[in-house]
Homo-oligomer: A and B are copies of this chain.
Amino acid sequence: MKTFKDPKKLQKWAALRKREGAKIALVPTMGYLHEGHLSLIAKAKAMKADEIIVSVFVNPVQFCPGEDYEKYPRDEKADYEKCKAAGATAIFFPTPANMYLENHSVYINEEQLSQGLCGARRPGHFRGVCTVVAKLFNLAHPDFAVFGQKDFQQAQIIKRMVRDLNFDLDIVVAPIVREKSGLARSSRNTYLSDEEKTRALAISRSLKELKANPAQRLSSVVKKLTQAGLKVDYVEAVDVETLKPVKKLGKGVAVLVAAYCGKTRLIDNIVI
């Protein structure tokens, strides 16, 4: 497995491999890899990519003031070993300084899908996501990039960016990977105490119950989360394409949850 730190070196190599006819997959991550990330690499492998580039970068621009940028968990060594074992062919560890040069002044804004949900609660978050992902696309020359469904809004926004800016690649969205308990895998789960982990199960459980019985009201989800001692950020049913709120649960509808368990913000979702 190759290791790159310098964006220009990654780009040069990727461009060469592309010209040689290699099929390139990109798996953008913030590192501290878990089973969810590894499933994205497995997906790239199953799609017969010749090169699977995993980027590991805690992107400062997508964190809002007061968020957990500084304390976001990092473990480059473990990430390296996990990528290698999972079949990645290259790992990219850029730094904030080589990704955002002096006087960096160009940003990408998605102006519709990012208005609600996490976009409304985390101003500038998707601007940071779109900007860094576009940079990674230009650096890695992927034929396709794999994102996780756990970040449902993010995946829809990235798809829209690819369409609207004509990036010459496909977006693949891989299903949520859960712990045995049902909890959606997330690097932020590491913040949770055992007791919080148990309380956090209310999220996946109530979404599962909602999927089994879509006649329920969303307020029942809110109630269950609150009863478990979580602080609800939002529980919303939206059209999967437009992300606009819908009143009735049914096909083509996603239910998205963001809730605080202690100080940790968790997200999860189901598509009905």
Question: Are A111 and B101 in contact (CB-based, < 8 A)?
Answer: no
- Per-residue contact bits, chain A 1-39, to B (CB 8 Å; 1 contact, 0 not): 000000100010001001101000000000000000000
Given contacts A101-B164, A139-B166, contact A106 B106 (CB under 8 A): no
For window 152-202 of A, CB contacts with B under 8 Å fall at 160-161, 163-168
Most interface-central of A106, A166, A167 (chain B CB within 10 A): A106
Given contacts A108-B106, A111-B107, contact A166 B135 (CB under 8 A): yes
Q: Is A103 an interface residue (CB 8 A)?
A: yes
Question: Are B111 and A108 in contact (CB-based, < 8 A)?
Answer: no
Question: Are B108 and A108 in contact (CB-based, < 8 A)?
Answer: yes
Given contacts A11-B168, A139-B166, A168-B138, contact A130 B110 (CB under 8 A): no
Complex: A33 Cα to B50 Cα, angstroms: 44
Question: Are B164 and A106 in contact (CB-based, < 8 A)?
Answer: yes
Complex: A110 Cα to B242 Cα, angstroms: 27
Taking a contact as CB atoms closer than 8 A, the residue among B19, B130, B167 that contacts A18 in the complex is: B19
Closest to A7 in B: B166
Category for how many chain A residues contact B: 35 or more
Complex: A110 Cα to B104 Cα, angstroms: 9
Chain B neighbourhood of A272, CB < 8 A? none
Given contacts A105-B110, A106-B110, A108-B108, contact A131 B165 (CB under 8 A): yes
Closest to A111 in B: B105
Top 9 nearest A-B pairs by Cβ distance? A106-B164, A105-B112, A138-B166, A105-B111, A135-B166, A106-B161, A106-B110, A139-B166, A104-B164
Q: A15-B168, A19-B21 are in contact. List 11 more A-B contacts (CB 8 A).
A: A7-B166, A103-B160, A104-B164, A105-B113, A106-B109, A106-B110, A106-B130, A107-B108, A109-B109, A131-B165, A138-B166
| Residues of A that sit less than 8 Å from B by CB | 7, 11, 15, 18-19, 21, 100-101, 103-113, 130-131, 134-135, 138-139, 141, 160-161, 163-168, 242
User: Can you name 19 A-B residue pairings with CB atoms under 8 Å?
Assistant: A11-B166, A11-B168, A15-B168, A18-B18, A100-B164, A104-B164, A105-B112, A105-B113, A106-B110, A106-B130, A106-B161, A106-B163, A106-B164, A106-B165, A108-B165, A134-B165, A138-B165, A139-B166, A141-B168
